[in-house]
Amino acid sequence: MSRNESPMDRVIRVVIAVASAVVAFVVGASSALAIILFVVAAIMLVTAATGFCPLYRVFGMSTCKVTNS
């Protein structure tokens, strides 16, 4: 699994994850919207931590400028 996210892309994903988690707590942690937001936050954190986005691979995209060996 090679990286396909740039460092800026990863930072943006962390920010989105934190914002999603905060909004989920404000809405109420047991509501349907909060559960969806927690899932979004988890996905964003995992992809930011690994530097790999499966959807980028499906669409043939990459924001990472470093070539992978």
Instruction: Write the pLDDT tens digit of every residue in 18-42.
Output: 999 999 999 998 899 999 999 999 9
| Residue 33 CB neighbours (<10 A) | 11
pLDDT one-digit tens code per residue, 38-62 = 999 999 999 999 999 999 889 888 8
Q: What is the pTM of this model?
A: 0.84
Query: For residue 8, how far is the Cα from the chain centroid?
Result: 12
